[in-house]
Structure 1
Amino acid sequence: MSPLLQLRQVDKRYGGLHVTRQVSFRLDAGDRLALIGPNGAGKTTLVHQISGVVPSDSGEVWLRGENVTRLPQARRVRHGLARTFQITTLAPHLPVQRQIEMALFEREGLSASAWRSVDSYPALTAEAQELLGRFGLRAHAATATEDLAYGEQRLIEMALAMALRPKVLLLDEPMAGVPKGDGARLLSALDALPKDLGVLIIEHDMDLVFRFANRIVVLCEGAVLAEGSPDDIRRDPRVRAAYLGN
């Protein structure tokens, strides 16, 4: 069976700076794959290449058996790819439920009918409310995102991504900037993601990485240094020297 996501020798340069170097790995249904490495290793650039934010100089990105290397972001979303960002990109003044409804409208190709009342689509309204409940946000349905804590904004981003019904979810440092007190809610949300969803997470919180991931890819100076189970990565002397320490 084809992997949900496959990278084949993906490469990116910015002038004389070689940011990602011949990166290859795969993500299967149900995988919880963590991408780790020191700052400047090329992790976020690689996720940008996967999602279509920046083009690759060489190599291929395959999504659900199709070569999407030259496709723009929107086309990759329609192929089942969704992502969150290291810094939140929410509309600050819009109520939470309205933002989720807008994502559902976009998914269903109803943006051209945005003049119609949301009440005209009771199934989408019900789905938005279900997503609010799933991520513990129902009490904030009518609240503008700028009035919510940062941890709750991270949950909204995950709800928006899941509104697209992805097969592959890319999470770029979901714990970045989140106070310790909100971390448990995010962990619960991660644990509750659909079991058949393929998840690729970039994260510096090693406790989360080793708790969440069933596979880990270590990136160093743009290249794959090691790949394996959490136990394999813990014991790998190259990874300890480059990133984890003793």
Structure 2
Amino acid sequence: MTVLLELRSLDKRFGGLHVTRGVSLELAAGDRVALIGPNGAGKSTLVNQIGGVLQPDAGSIHLRGVDVTRMPQPKRARAGLARTFQITTLAPQLPVQRQVELALLEREGLTHCVWRSIDAYPALQAEAQELLVRLGLREHAATATEDLAYGEQRLVEMALALALKPKVLLLDEPMAGVPKGDGARLLAALDALPRDLAVLIIEHDMDLVFRLATRIVVLAEGAVLAAGDPDTIRRDPKVRTAYLGH
């Protein structure tokens, strides 16, 4: 199977703190890989390197066979990488559908056409509406995101990421802060992600991890402690001691 994302011996230090230690990882189409580990294990630092927020000190990142280690974030997005963040980064007063439409315009390289309304692109309008239907947000199309429940805001973030038609999707704690009442809708959206999409998810909710992931990578002190299918990880004594707590 074609590898879509490959990390080769990524290393990152902040002064004397060695946060990422020689991490290697591959994702292929359809993979659902969970990245877990105790607080301070280096998970967010690793994802920030993949997304382009941070530059590794050593090692390389390859997206669909292309070295993107020094590539800026917007170019990575155009090359097929999208992500959501642990804390929502939405425009609070902009209606949901308009935010999705803007993401579609960005994907098509049309955001410079400021003199043209989105109404000039009916196909993109229809695509935005289809995304909202798929994620259960149609009734909120005209609602400002600041007026949505937190779980619904997380769904909007996912809509913006999917609008880019990524090949690889990074999900940084999608359930963080989501009330239990909203969790079912988010879980349904995760289950319904395109099957050919490669997904790397950071999550502390172990029920979600073991339900969604086909493979789990455990980080500890910046290095890969263990990797394997959910049953292998559940039984691994090193993981049980270091993270699962029994």
TM-score tier by shorter-chain length is: over 0.9
Corresponding position of 2:191: 191
TM-score between the two structures when normalised by the length of structure 1 = 0.99
Cα distance between partner residues in 2 of 1:115 and 1:180: 43
- Please tell me whether the aligned partners of residues 2 and 65 of structure 1 are also in contact (alpha carbons under 8 angstroms): no
Deviation at 1:115, TM superposition (A): 2.2
Match of 1:176 in 2: 176
Identity %: 77
Secondary structure, aligned partner of 2:143: coil
1:1-246 matches, within 5 Å, as 1-246=1-246
Q: Distance in 2 between matches of 1:50 and 1:138?
A: 32
| RMSD of equivalent CA atoms | 0.6
Superposed CA offset, 1:161-197 (max 9, x none): 0000000000000000000011100010001000000
Corresponding residue SS for 1:4:
strand
- Alpha-carbon distance between aligned partners in 2 of 1:2 and 1:199, rounded to the nearest angstrom: 14
Deviant stretches of 4+, over 2 Å: none
Question: What do the CA deviations read for 1:93-123 (whole angstroms, capped 9, x no partner)?
Answer: 0000000000000000001113211111000
Question: Is the Cα contact below 8 Å between 1:91 and 1:145 reproduced in 2?
Answer: yes
CA displacement at 1:85 relative to structure 2? 0.1
Asked if 2 retains the 8 angstrom alpha-carbon contact of 1:3 and 1:28, the reply is yes
**Counterparts of 1:19 and 1:199, CA distance in 2:** 23
Q: Distance in 1 between matches of 2:75 and 2:12?
A: 21
Number of aligned residue pairs: 246
Distance 1:72 1:109 in 2: 16
Q: Distance in 2 between matches of 1:219 and 1:87?
A: 21
Whole-angstrom CA distance in 1 between matches of 2:217 and 2:162 = 24
What TM-score does the superposition give when structure 2 sets the normalisation length? 0.99
Residue type matched to 2:29 in 1?
A: A
The whole-number CA distance in structure 2 between the counterparts of 1:32 and 1:114 is 38
Q: Which amino acid aligns with 2:152?
A: E
On the 8 A contact 1:34/1:201 being kept in 2, the answer is: yes
* Residue identity matched to 2:87: I
> How many angstroms apart in 2 are the aligned matches of 1:2 and 1:179?
37
Shift of 1:245: 1.5
**Hey, what's the Cα distance between the residues in 2 that align with 1:177 and 1:243?**
21
Contact 1:41-1:222 within 8 A present in 2 as well: yes
- Offset at residue 221 of structure 1 (A): 0.3
Structure 1 runs not aligned, ≥5 long: none
Distance of 1:151 and 1:196 partners within structure 2? 25
Uncovered stretches (5+) of structure 2, i.e. residues with no partner: none
Q: Distance in 2 between matches of 1:46 and 1:169?
A: 14
Contact 1:5 1:63 in 2 (8 A): yes
